[in-house]
Structure 1
Amino acid sequence: MRPIVVHSVVALAALGTLIGCATAKKAKAPAAAPTAKVAVTNAPLTKDEMEKRVEALARFAAGVSGELREQPDEALDQFYKSVLADPTNEPLAIDVARRLIRKKESEKAIEILSKCAEQRSATGFVDALLGIAYQQAGKTDLAIAASRKAIVKLPKALLGYQNLATIYLQTNRPKDALAALDEAAALGVTEINFLLELGEAYRNYVSVQPRQFESVKAKVMATIEAAAKLDPKGQNLIFRLAELFSFAGEYKRAAELYVKLLERFPNQAILRNRIVELYLRANDLKAAQAQLDALVRDQPTNPLAHYFLGAIAAEQKNWEKAIEFYTKTIQLNEGAKQEFEPVYYDLAGVHITNDDAEEALKLLEMARKKFKATFLLEFYSALAHSRSKDYAASIKHFTAAELLAKRDEPERLTALFFFQVGTAYERHKDFKQAENYFRQSLKLAPDFAEALNYLGYMWAERGENLTEAKAMIEKAVKQEPENAAFLDSMAWVLFKLNQPKAALEYQLKALKHQKEPDATLHDHLGDIYAALKQPDQARAQWEHALTIEPSEAIQKKLKAAVPAKP
């Protein structure tokens, strides 16, 4: 049965109004709307007024009967007619109007709220709700006027300002929306609910205008810092404050508030999950792991706890532990109504990084049997095949990933994605397609150093577009002047441009900054020395390259080179 507690409370308030007479004492404010004052007069009721009140009471009783018989539409119609008969009953008018607005019956809501607003005792709550009804009906000017009237009557309440912000956002006037919220903030109200609601209103503004986050963040922080100083104790208040800190990017502050709640409600696993998520976002891995360890002790079969532990291990590059925790997540989640798909791709990514493409492909084949084809499934399959140097298969899966993303998730088609596809095509010797994808990558991210270097080096290696290649590599080197790969590319393009002296300077820098021995760097240095007519140095570098990695090409160079002087 539908609960009728609220209506019972309203009924008590209504009865006091409906049966008022010349001898009535001053009525108390109705419990349903404490700030609403009921109009009471010592003047006797006219015959017409008495008939209206009797009708209102009868309609109200019929509405309650409809509620008891679980006939909500019939009940609402009777309550609506009750308010029309006696618009002085503000609590009932507000309750009925809210229901009508939820049912999109805005004209009926406007009708009863307008009548109620005409009463001398009408509060700003009526005008605020009238503003919402007008906006739903597409009457923007009237909605703004009603909301402004609510602000005049309730200058220290947020409702009117919230209405204005919502109306302005819906009518593509974001500057006016923000100004309304700033006007409310300037009131200097230091009441906890006001501050939290204001912070939430700013958050709603950003949800519509996401590019304005940075410009609004300081205002949000000022609001929620003021709320935090009030040290709220209620569970709901702390929750709302924590979520506002999270919205502002203050993840650690949000987590600390949830920790306080967890101390009071230690059996709420959902709180610990949220704390872990926030600490991870704050990159406080130690704090996140402490919470997860506690969660695993309490709930050793909780797959989500193991998943997050795997994520932390992966972040710390502890691949063995990451594999252990991710594998445990899959085992614990096996047979669930809805299996946790992301863990398959995270674990595949760890296997690929750990140079175990075979295990990654086995896992992805399992995922392919369980889940429908998605961008991530095809993307990780492409990466695994690239790692195993099966570039034809890699390109096949990259193509599938691209098509799925275009259809379902276009935001996946990033500069990094196109770069990775380009590298697969380059290694497959399809240089035209490689160039195409590198250019797509650079169109999205013109300063993407890895793509600038890769395309520039590919051209230099092939002796193509050398001037453009040099310009690209220069941009990459400017961003990372100690990157050995970029310096090597710069040396090589200069070498290809017949500038061996300039190339030598960059090649020596590349060797200086290499993090581990690289045969290619010594091979290139040997070629540069040969071009500079320094055969002994050239031979020494080629021989050194062979100690790092065997190469038939370098062996041929040594055989063809002028023998070293005795």
Structure 2
Amino acid sequence: TARAPLAVLTSGLLTAWAKQGEGDTEAAFELVDGLSGPSWYEIFKNYHTALIADVAGQKDVAVRAITDAFETDGSALRVVEAYGRILSSAGKRDQAIEALERFMQTQPGNPVIGFLLDELVAGKDPGPLVSSTAEGAAEVLYGLGAAIGTDEGTELPAAYLHLSLYLKPDSHLALTALADLLVSADRCEEAIRIYGRVPQDSNLRRNADIQTGFCLDNLIRTDEAVALLSKLIEKNPEGLDAIVALGNIQRGRERFAEAAETYSRGIATIDEPTAGDWRLFYFRGVAYERSDEWTKSEADLKKALDLNPGQPQVLNYLGYSWVDMGVNLEEGLDMIRSAVDQRPNDGYIVDSLGWAYFRLGRYEDAVAQLERAVELKPEDPVINDHLGDAYWRVGRKREATFQWNHARDLDPEPTDLEVIVRKLEKGLVTDGASDG
């Protein structure tokens, strides 16, 4: 069956840890080495060989195996953490620090690696990642549970994570992974309970609170989410993770002025913006635009492009805004085309290009792009509405009426619904009849 490779790897690694528990390290190594399967086996084999060797005090074997795993995937959190701990324990602290610093450049703010790096820099001994057979078995179940994915549902990965927690109840990473899994299954009530089990002194507590904020918002308990995130920001005003989370929740709830203010707090903490900061300026630019503060919005969107030239979301938003206002038409159109070239399967960006053509009176071009946008996002009322307008302009009035009917049935915003109903009664009267 499709799950056979997973079952083989799970039982093989668990049996190897059982052998290690009996004191037979060589048999454990042989068992892991003998596991054959898909290419993704390799990193798990190297990783658990390293952990078994570490528990058995075989430092050279541990260093060799964890280095192989790290070179295979230097972005896997547990592999990076084990690499730092094992190398440090083997007297290679400087090498460990350098690797962790590189990781933190790609994932700034990661609480697990950040905490470990601080310990190593301070000269502390962080100890082993796994110190017993039971913890080794828990690590097998956690690692596989976190890696399985949810393509076939959440039951199997959740079972792995529950078993891991049974063996190691204080594993904050397994708790967080289980809660994240519940969020992906739209089970926010349960997820909040699991996040709540992460202790206050854990370096994952802040992350658990931020995710709880998103869950509360998802449950339409937005004021509670805002209160929780505001507390986190008060506790650490420099922490951009909570600031961006709060701004995004406010923006998602159309509290645009509040969102702009929140993003401004984040921007104020940055001395010299770098390429990664483009999002903050983009988010604030969107919030300003939706608050009818176009001058501020345009400045932020341009700043986002300065920081990250060619970023498709920003190109699309700024280009579309210009075309919609009837200014910088050619430059705006070029920006949207560039965004579509980079994201040809993004229905919203393709819709922007179609709507830009519509605003410029190029109705045949508009139809071609908007038909494609509807193929990509068939359930979006705005895109269906736009296609109806374009059909009307090229004389395909029956198809226009069909699209508007469809848009009406897709639960559009109340203001859009009014406009759609009016078009169904009277047809398209003015170019601006649809609010793009």
Q: For 1:100-119, list aligned pairs within 5 A.
A: none
For residues 28-427 of structure 1, the aligned pairs below 5 Å read: 234-250=57-73, 265-266=132-133, 269=135, 283-284=147-148, 292-314=161-183, 319-329=188-198, 333-334=199-200, 336=201, 340-352=205-217, 356-368=221-233, 370-372=235-237, 374-406=239-271, 413-427=276-290
CA drift at 1:357: 2.9
In 2, Cα distance between equivalents of 1:519 and 1:262: 51
Distance 2:295 2:409 in 1: 34
Segment drifting more, 318-327 vs 459-468? 318-327
- Is the CA contact 1:425–1:434 (under 8 Å) kept in the aligned structure 2? yes
Taking the aligned partners of 1:547 and 1:556, their CA distance within structure 2 comes to: 14
Change in 2 beyond 3 A, CA 1:264/1:510: closer
Return the match for 1:531 from 384, 393, 410: 393
Q: CA 1:483–1:380 in 2, change beyond 3 Å: closer, same or farther?
A: closer
SS in 2 for 1:328: coil
Matched residue type, 2:364: K
Q: In structure 2, what is the equivalent of residue 492 of structure 1?
A: 355
Question: Which protein, 1 or 2, shows the higher relative CO under an 8 Å CA cutoff with sep ≥ 6?
Answer: 2
Rounded Cα–Cα distance in structure 2 between residues aligned with 1:557 and 1:315: 39
Residue identity opposite 2:228 in structure 1: L
Partners of 2:137 and 2:285 in 1: CA distance: 42
Q: What does the per-residue CA deviation read over 1:271-305, in whole Å, with 9 as the maximum and x for residues that have no partner?
A: 6787788769x945699867753442134355454
Deviations along 1:236-259, one digit per CA (max 9) or x if unpaired, are 22432344235424368959x99x
Match of 1:541 in 2: 403
Inter-partner Cα distance in structure 2 for 1:447 and 1:262: 42
CA contact (8 A) 2:385 2:420 kept: yes
SS in 1 for 2:320: helix
1:427/1:355 Cα in 2 relative to 1: closer, same or farther (>3 Å)? farther
Specify the SS of the correspondent of 1:405: coil
Matched residue SS, 2:166 = helix
Which residue of the partner structure matches residue 56 of structure 1? Answer: none
Question: Taking structure 1 as reference, are residues 405 and 559 closer, same or farther at Cα in structure 2, changes over 3 Å only?
Answer: same
Whole-Å separation in 2 of the counterparts to 1:562 and 1:365: 46
Shift of 1:467: 0.9
Q: Contact 1:391 / 1:427 at 8 angstroms: preserved in 2?
A: yes
CA contact under 8 A between 2:70 and 2:79: conserved in structure 1? no
Q: Using a 3 Å threshold, how does the CA distance of structure 1 residues 302 and 539 change in structure 2: closer, same or farther?
A: closer
| Closer, same or farther: CA 324–263 of 1 in aligned 2, 3 Å | closer
Q: Report the Cα distance in structure 2 between the residues aligned to 1:445 and 1:405, rounded to whole angstroms.
A: 16
Counterpart position of 1:57: none
**For each residue in 1:29-81, what CA deviation from the matched residue of structure 2 results, as whole angstroms up to 9, or x when unmatched?**
xxxxxxxxxxxxxxxxxxxxxxxxxxxxxxxxxxxxxxxxxxxxxxxxxxxxx
Letter in 2 for 1:248: E
Match of 2:419 in 1: 553
Against the structure 1 CA distance between its residues 470 and 535, is the aligned structure 2 distance closer, same or farther, given a 3 Å change threshold?
Answer: same
- Tell me how far apart the structure 1 counterparts of residues 61 and 215 of structure 2 sit (CA, whole Å): 37
Contact 2:381/2:408 (8 A) holds in 1: yes
Q: Using the TM superposition, give the Cα deviation of residue 402 of structure 1 relative to its aligned residue in structure 2, in angstroms.
A: 0.9
* 2:389 aligned partner, one-letter code: D
| TM-score normalised by structure 1 residue count | 0.49
1:365 Cα offset (Å): 3.6
Deviation at residue 366 of structure 1 after TM alignment: 4.0
Q: d(CA) in 1 for partners of 2:304 and 2:138?
A: 37
Instruction: Please say if residues 323 and 356 of structure 2, whose CA atoms lie closer than 8 Å, have aligned partners that are also in contact.
Output: yes
Cα distance change, pair 536–262 in 1 and its aligned pair in 2 (3 A): closer
The structure number with the bigger radius of gyration is: 1
**% same residue:** 24
1:503 aligns with 2:366: yes
Partner of 2:298: 435
Q: CA deviation at 1:363?
A: 2.0
Determine the C-alpha separation between the residues in 1 that align with 2:143 and 2:303: 35
Assess if the C-alpha contact under 8 Å between 1:419 and 1:441 holds in 2. yes
Unaligned runs of 5+ in 1: 1-220
Tell me what 1:444 maps to: 307
In structure 2, what is the equivalent of residue 468 of structure 1? Answer: 331
Q: State the shift of 1:341 in Å.
A: 2.3
The root-mean-square deviation of aligned C-alpha atoms, in Å, is 4.2
CA distance in 1, matches of 2:58, 2:211: 35
Q: Structure 1 residues 278 and 500 mapped into 2: Cα distance closer, same or farther (>3 Å)?
A: same
C-alpha contact (below 8 Å) 1:254/1:278 kept by paired residues: no
Which residue, out of 366, 370, 375, partners 1:512?
Answer: 375
Once residues 302 and 562 of structure 1 are traced to their aligned partners in structure 2, the CA distance between those partners, rounded to angstroms, is 61
Q: In the aligned structure 2, how far is the partner of 1:522 from the partner of 1:428?
A: 26
Letter in 2 for 1:529: Y
Determine the C-alpha separation between the residues in 2 that align with 1:348 and 1:497.
42
How far apart, CA to CA, are the structure 2 residues paired with 1:274 and 1:411?
37
Q: Distance in 2 between matches of 1:463 and 1:412?
A: 30
Aligned-partner Cα distance in 1 for 2:269–2:139: 31
Q: CA deviation at 1:393?
A: 0.9
**Is the CA contact (8 Å cut-off) linking 2:344 and 2:350 kept in structure 1?**
yes
1:89-134 CA-partner distances (Å, limit 9, x unpaired): xxxxxxxxxxxxxxxxxxxxxxxxxxxxxxxxxxxxxxxxxxxxxx
Residue identity matched to 1:266: T
1:519 partner letter: P
Deviation at 1:312, TM superposition (A): 4.4
Compared CA separation, residues 284 and 543, structure 1 to 2 (3 A): closer
> What letter corresponds to residue 414 of structure 1 in structure 2?
D
Deviation at 1:418, TM superposition (A): 2.4
In 2, Cα distance between the equivalents of 1:278 and 1:412? 32
Residues 375 and 405, structure 1, Cα contact 8 Å, conserved in 2: no
CA offset digits 1:144-186 (Å, max 9, x no partner): xxxxxxxxxxxxxxxxxxxxxxxxxxxxxxxxxxxxxxxxxxx
